[in-house]
Structure 1
Amino acid sequence: MMLALSGTGIGRGIAIGYALVLDKSQNEVPQFQIDADRIDQEVSRFNEAIATVRRELKHLQSNLPPTAPPETGAFIDVHLLMLDDPLISSHPGKSIQNEKINAEWALKNHADTLVAFFDNISDPYLRTKKDDVAQVVGRIMDVLTEDKERRSDISTLGHTLTDRIIVARDLSPADTVMLRHRHMTAFVTSLGGPISHTAILARSLGLPAIVGLHGVIDTICDGDQLIVDASTGTVLVAPDEGLLDQFQALQEQQRKQRRALAKLGKEKAVTLDDEEITLLANIELPEDLDALHGSGAAGIGLYRTEFLFMNRAQPPEEEEQYQAYCQVVKSVRGPVTIRTLDLGADKQVDGGRDEPKAAITPALGLRAIRLCLSEPSLFKPQLRAILRAAVHGDAQMMIPMLSSLQELEQSLSLVREVCAELEREGIAFNPNVPIGGMIEVPAAAIAADLFAQKLDFFSIGTNDLIQYTLAIDRVDDSVNYLYDPLHPSVLRLVRTIIQAGNEADIPVSMCGEMAGDPVFTRLLLGLGLRHFSMEPSQLLEIRQQVRHSRLAELPGWAERILACTDGSTLHGLVDQLNAEECA
């Protein structure tokens, strides 16, 4: 009997194949007391497990297949950084000694604290880093429990996985790349989210995937024929002949589209009526720059700096930040927009507290610019580093989560103060760095005309703007169905921001997920957006959509869509807009 299972689709591809089921279960973590004379032995066992996993990750990094996306190495670096976090690498050893408990239980207790930290981060992208924690801890647990079957699931698979769809509880970025190298057709997992590192890699690899299936994944058996439709987030189990024929035809159509896309190369993003659109890339580590090769990105529209501050006891010194920013600024032709710190008050994951601080709605708490203004000693070194790095290229500074003009005035005052300090100290810096604001709070969107008088540019952060406007958390499975970028309130706020920027004659870009989704490209162009920033893997598809659009005809479509009050009709209009041959 055919089954239809729903999860979160990654990409828009279709895959047809047979299920290869890896371990889908989450083994229970053993808990027991250790005799006093075995404590040193247990600590040694834990330390050796950490060392083993570190060797495994470095081996993976050194032996990535040539077809691996450039960002793969950076994602493994993130796992290595997490492996160095005291909550994972050293605090469990202390718990073994002090509480006389086994290594597995000690690791679980501290890993739970780390997961809780990420759960309390409001930024949905950063919050998904708890998946990376789970993957790293899972590797350590497999070593500690000597679970050879679980550890060999992937390493002992055949050399070719053609026509096989991997079904698993979770996949790490490294696992995903290695399985793809063996020609895995697609994957479906119980865990995971749309903006995890594994999801980003799947998009880069052009690999259809469905994540977040949860318990229903247990209905899939080894050898079941599956259809994976990433565009709808649907897995069809045991489809009939009619459905197979239908999806095979869709597959062939997508192959033709991909071949056409590959020919774009570094063609300019120019509309059919000859207006050039600026396409930029989002990055979070200097190592991500490798992914820009061949993408045609005109610069960096969002450089997330949070990873410099995470997995460490103390925030980075000014010099460390300066070197990191310089590496990016010197390597990129075009503007580099450096976003100042966007973390909450529990930013230092140093294991200094036994229990994570409870956050009553962390998205609305002390985070981003609020935290930076409350702790100038944290903020000023970053400002100094950015101003100094701007000597070496086209750097811009972007302030996140602005909600009031007072916050902006305080921020600009601190920048002036830092400039005066650098001047007195005789340190080279650029006093004319453009300063922009990330418009992601409805209050800032509504008052965008006031912010535009004091800022050099806007960047619309649609991920948070949609969440705050609709009062939902897209990472929460129980309400994420309400996450709708086409909600009339969201579209009106986007238009308000763009109009305010245009009237003040300042550039307006968009760096949220909407910018990298071709479903929204023509609508956004019709609303007046001319600068898009996205993950590097999305640039070619957006460029193609721009090149197939006639700009002069899009504002009329945008007005029709904005005037629509019925949700299904509105979505239908967007489908019609995208179906137009040249729009």
Structure 2
Amino acid sequence: MRDVDAGPRVLLKRIRQIMVKPMDPQTRLDRFVEEIAQSMVAEVCSAYVLRADSILELYATFGLNPDAVHLSQLRLGQGLVGTIASSSRALNLSEAQRHPAFQYLPETGEELYHSFLGVPILRAGRTLGVLVIQNEAHRVYSDDEVEAMETVAMVIGELIAQGDLKGLSTAGVELDMEKPVSHHGQSLSDGIGLGHVVLHEPRVVVTNLFNEDTDAELERLEKAIRGLRLTIDDMLARREVAFEGEHREILETYRMFAHDKGWVRRMEEAVRNGLTAEAGVEKVQSDMRAKMQSINDPFMRERLSDFDDLANRLLRQLVGNAGAKASNMPQDAILIARTMGAAELLDYPRDTLRGLVLEDGAPTSHVVIVARAMGIPVVGQAKGVVAVSENGDAIIVDGLAGDVHLRPQQDVQLAFAEKVRFRAKRQEEYRALRTQPNITKDGEEFSLMMNAGLMVDMPQLEESGASGIGLFRTELQFMVASTFPKADAQEKLYRAVISESGGRPVTFRTLDIGGDKVLPYFRNAPDEENPALGWRAIRLALDRPGLFRTQLRALLRASAGSELRLMVPMVSEILELRQSRELIQNEVRHLSKFGHGLPNKVYLGAMLEVPSLLFDLDNLMKEADFISIGSNDLFQFFMATDRGNSHVAGRFDTLGIPFLRALKSIADKAKEHGTSLTLCGEIASRPITALALLALGINKTSMSPAGIGPVKDALLKTDIGALRNELLPCLENGIPDRCARTLIEDFAEKHDIPL
């Protein structure tokens, strides 16, 4: 029996010999599968190509029925081949027919074969097909054989990507890169962006695969790694990165990973097996991406994403376009990426960015948090958008609806351009309102503050005309960091926020993590069935007093000589507020003992988000210095509706009578006790709900900066007393349709109030 080649190098040598001979692409692919079968001592080798219609078509085979070529087809996810294509991971089976995904194709004659090894054909992170070998004998293929198949699959990927292979199906392999394409994803940051595609660096394509001199390629790889490390050091030294203190720890983590010996060793092994330096980097990067798709643990996904980012940077070092981002950016750039890190987004010049589209992405992703703070519209979960995009394509990002329109037709472009012009005109009108007093048409005063959480939010305080920061989300610093921020880093951020506020009030919410706010490095977080109702916010902080005390100490020191307003999230009972106050007093005594500066006054408030407090309002108003209604969570718990569940999130109206009655009871008790009351949340940023809040007696609200202009415009034009006289009797008597929305809409239309 013939010996199996010891590794991929001999097979690569034979594949390279086929590559240099003149022949048409189909013949070359046929020769590939024949050579692979012989070199791997396999009875069968087959290549499946993923078409534009998500069908895997058999394009070449050695050992199966040749008449099945171009006739055998599998859907993405169907059978073993479809499973490999959808997961981008290899399958190594000694008895393929026992696997639950196995599907017999009678036209192929494959019933004789038991062992099965299939690997995805990847190029620039995109799955283009599947390469398979089969044997009659029951066996498990070795790691060297898997490595050989994966390496050869890279070469076949380049052959497929050239677009010259022709199938019998009319669908073909090629993607139509000219026709309009629309993708519906998830809205992650509001706004509309019109511009031209800038593909993020995962589209760096490696075309030079085989090395002629292993030692020279290893030297190139080593030189590029040194350059990568120097680039990260330079980024850390840049003034603007130093200013954005919350991102610095991300770059520190990148620097640590750039020195990871295991990562470097895997790339060196790929080069020793016959690949060029850049092909070796892409080989390891493809393996990382395949692992990312099957990992749910947020800590591991963040770490693998960091390695993916590093591989992109390393490829740019090797191909010589490390500085291409800044120089080739159009003035209306829309970034398209599978995924990207927050630090990568900061590499791009901010003044040219008009939007961001991600195939991955979630509301709590680091890059989304930073993009939202920068005011960039973001659409995530736009699956497949990278594959159909090219640099320079016209594109529209609708961050309001979560839609992406690629190469849109002219009428679509004109419609969205008109939308953008209208929004820009309205923004100019809103900016003109900044200096006008916050007084309604009938003389009632109101206060509009903004929500923030990063230093990049702070310029919007002046631009929006906000009265202050009603909610500073301290957890965002933790969410964009790779480890728990140290006390001095926290203090530096808080001190900068106070300085940038220009004397306006700032309310810091203490650490609110848990639930949907996952810290990837917090390994002790439990696996909870209902995380929104579980170990989060003040519950976690009181159970981890060391973490809580570190933050309190940083806040107290940063506020020396001024007032400190602290707000405790998700208070469920008065005891939690008392325990928090006791911890604050202990930290005050500690700092005083060692001569540290202290705030002139510390105000401790509670965020009213849990309905239990509605039945203890008198004690709450006595215990807290101020109250802030967290309307998002309070409505979620009040109506038992998961705001992250698309099936029920829009089922109930925030202007429903029961919820408005609850809000009015809070406002009445705050007035009775003389306790300062603010409402934070989405309902504060919509003119129609803002009118209802002021009519209920809630005259202080905090919202996203973009909401301040429209809300102020509506309130300035409203006789709030007249609205109150119509609304309050309906709360007492009820409204047939169970919500006040129609009443307020009719009132606004009658009095020409913009909603």
Deviation string for 1:340-394 (max 9, x for gaps)? 22235999979696x9753443333333222232233333344445445554112
Of 260, 263, 268, which aligns to 1:93?
260
Partner of 2:578: 409
**In the superposition, relative to structure 1, how do residues 272 and 281 fare at CA in structure 2: closer, same or farther (>3 Å)?**
same
Amino acid at match of 2:472: Y
Does the aligned pair in 1 maintain the 2:188–2:368 contact within 8 Å?
A: yes
Return the alpha-carbon distance in structure 2 between the equivalents of residues 210 and 251 of structure 1: 16
Judge which range, 493-502 or 19-28, deviates more. 19-28
**Cα shift at 1:553:** 2.9
The question of 1:52 aligning with 2:231 is answered yes
Partner of 2:713: 544
**Cα shift at 1:239:** 6.9
Return the alpha-carbon distance in structure 2 between the equivalents of residues 313 and 239 of structure 1: 43
The question of 1:292 aligning with 2:461 is answered yes
**In the superposition, relative to structure 1, how do residues 237 and 91 fare at CA in structure 2: closer, same or farther (>3 Å)?**
closer
**Cα shift at 1:171:** 6.5
**Cα shift at 1:6:** 3.5
**In the superposition, relative to structure 1, how do residues 538 and 352 fare at CA in structure 2: closer, same or farther (>3 Å)?**
closer
Deviation string for 1:173-205 (max 9, x for gaps)? 7748947634x6655443445676766776777
Of 511, 517, 521, which aligns to 1:341?
511
**Cα shift at 1:211:** 0.7
**In the superposition, relative to structure 1, how do residues 398 and 409 fare at CA in structure 2: closer, same or farther (>3 Å)?**
same
Partner of 1:254: 423
**Cα shift at 1:287:** 6.2
Return the alpha-carbon distance in structure 1 between the equivalents of residues 485 and 594 of structure 2: 23
**Equivalent residues in 2 for 1:183-262 (5 A)?**
186=355, 188-193=357-362, 209=377, 211-215=379-383, 217=385, 229-235=398-404, 250-262=419-431
**In the superposition, relative to structure 1, how do residues 167 and 389 fare at CA in structure 2: closer, same or farther (>3 Å)?**
closer
* DSSP-derived class of the 1:266 partner: coil
**In the superposition, relative to structure 1, how do residues 340 and 249 fare at CA in structure 2: closer, same or farther (>3 Å)?**
closer
Partner of 2:609: 440
**Cα shift at 1:261:** 2.0
The question of 1:7 aligning with 2:185 is answered yes
Return the alpha-carbon distance in structure 2 between the equivalents of residues 551 and 374 of structure 1: 45
Does the aligned pair in 2 maintain the 1:313–1:348 contact within 8 Å?
A: no
**Equivalent residues in 2 for 1:68-467 (5 A)?**
77-85=245-253, 89-90=256-257, 93=260, 116-117=297-298, 137-145=307-315, 154-155=325-326, 157=328, 159-161=330-332, 167-170=336-339, 175=345, 178=348, 181-182=351-352, 186=355, 188-193=357-362, 209=377, 211-215=379-383, 217=385, 229-235=398-404, 250-285=419-454, 288-306=457-475, 311=481, 316-317=486-487, 321-322=490-491, 324-332=493-501, 333-344=503-514, 358-387=527-556, 389-421=558-590, 429-430=598-599, 432-467=601-636
* DSSP-derived class of the 2:470 partner: strand
**In the superposition, relative to structure 1, how do residues 408 and 13 fare at CA in structure 2: closer, same or farther (>3 Å)?**
closer
Return the alpha-carbon distance in structure 2 between the equivalents of residues 326 and 16 of structure 1: 37
The question of 1:581 aligning with 2:752 is answered yes
Partner of 1:506: 675
The normalised TM-score by structure 1 is: 0.72
Return the alpha-carbon distance in structure 2 between the equivalents of residues 472 and 150 of structure 1: 49
Does the aligned pair in 2 maintain the 1:167–1:188 contact within 8 Å?
A: yes
Amino acid at match of 1:267: Q
Deviation string for 1:191-244 (max 9, x for gaps)? 44567676677677776x451243264796558776655444445677777766
**Cα shift at 1:423:** 5.8
Does the aligned pair in 1 maintain the 2:440–2:718 contact within 8 Å?
A: yes
* DSSP-derived class of the 2:723 partner: helix
* DSSP-derived class of the 2:383 partner: helix
Does the aligned pair in 1 maintain the 2:202–2:312 contact within 8 Å?
A: no
**Cα shift at 1:45:** 7.2
Judge which range, 461-470 or 51-60, deviates more. 51-60
Return the alpha-carbon distance in structure 2 between the equivalents of residues 487 and 312 of structure 1: 42
The question of 1:22 aligning with 2:191 is answered no
Return the alpha-carbon distance in structure 1 between the equivalents of residues 190 and 456 of structure 2: 27
Return the alpha-carbon distance in structure 2 between the equivalents of residues 577 and 11 of structure 1: 31
Return the alpha-carbon distance in structure 2 between the equivalents of residues 401 and 216 of structure 1: 39
Return the alpha-carbon distance in structure 2 between the equivalents of residues 22 and 221 of structure 1: 8
Return the alpha-carbon distance in structure 2 between the equivalents of residues 134 and 469 of structure 1: 39
Return the alpha-carbon distance in structure 2 between the equivalents of residues 58 and 483 of structure 1: 50
Return the alpha-carbon distance in structure 2 between the equivalents of residues 561 and 193 of structure 1: 40
Q: Which is bigger in relative contact order (C-alpha 8 A, separation at least 6)?
A: 1
Does the aligned pair in 2 maintain the 1:330–1:393 contact within 8 Å?
A: no
Return the alpha-carbon distance in structure 2 between the equivalents of residues 392 and 326 of structure 1: 11
* DSSP-derived class of the 2:702 partner: strand
Give the aligned CA root-mean-square deviation in angstroms: 5.2
Return the alpha-carbon distance in structure 2 between the equivalents of residues 321 and 141 of structure 1: 31
Amino acid at match of 2:231: T
**Cα shift at 1:457:** 0.8
Deviation string for 1:325-345 (max 9, x for gaps)? 444445531322222222359
Return the alpha-carbon distance in structure 1 between the equivalents of residues 224 and 296 of structure 2: 23
Deviation string for 1:260-280 (max 9, x for gaps)? 223234333222223232222
Return the alpha-carbon distance in structure 2 between the equivalents of residues 188 and 366 of structure 1: 33
**In the superposition, relative to structure 1, how do residues 27 and 336 fare at CA in structure 2: closer, same or farther (>3 Å)?**
same
**Cα shift at 1:58:** 6.0
Partner of 1:35: none
Return the alpha-carbon distance in structure 1 between the equivalents of residues 517 and 198 of structure 2: 38
Partner of 2:666: 497
* DSSP-derived class of the 1:142 partner: helix
Does the aligned pair in 2 maintain the 1:225–1:237 contact within 8 Å?
A: yes
Return the alpha-carbon distance in structure 2 between the equivalents of residues 11 and 350 of structure 1: 22
**Cα shift at 1:555:** 2.6
Partner of 1:33: none
**Cα shift at 1:485:** 4.6
**Cα shift at 1:446:** 4.8
* DSSP-derived class of the 1:334 partner: coil
Partner of 2:147: none
Return the alpha-carbon distance in structure 1 between the equivalents of residues 556 and 198 of structure 2: 52
Does the aligned pair in 2 maintain the 1:299–1:335 contact within 8 Å?
A: yes
* DSSP-derived class of the 1:215 partner: coil
Judge which range, 299-308 or 334-343, deviates more. 299-308
Judge which range, 469-478 or 295-304, deviates more. 469-478
Does the aligned pair in 2 maintain the 1:308–1:316 contact within 8 Å?
A: no
Amino acid at match of 1:279: L
Deviation string for 1:430-480 (max 9, x for gaps)? 585221101122323454443122111111223333444455655567776
Amino acid at match of 1:7: G
**In the superposition, relative to structure 1, how do residues 392 and 190 fare at CA in structure 2: closer, same or farther (>3 Å)?**
same
**In the superposition, relative to structure 1, how do residues 528 and 327 fare at CA in structure 2: closer, same or farther (>3 Å)?**
same
Return the alpha-carbon distance in structure 1 between the equivalents of residues 635 and 483 of structure 2: 33
**Cα shift at 1:527:** 2.7
- How many pairs align? 545
For structure 1, the residue ranges without an aligned partner over 5 or more in a row are 29-37, 63-72, 120-129
Amino acid at match of 2:309: R
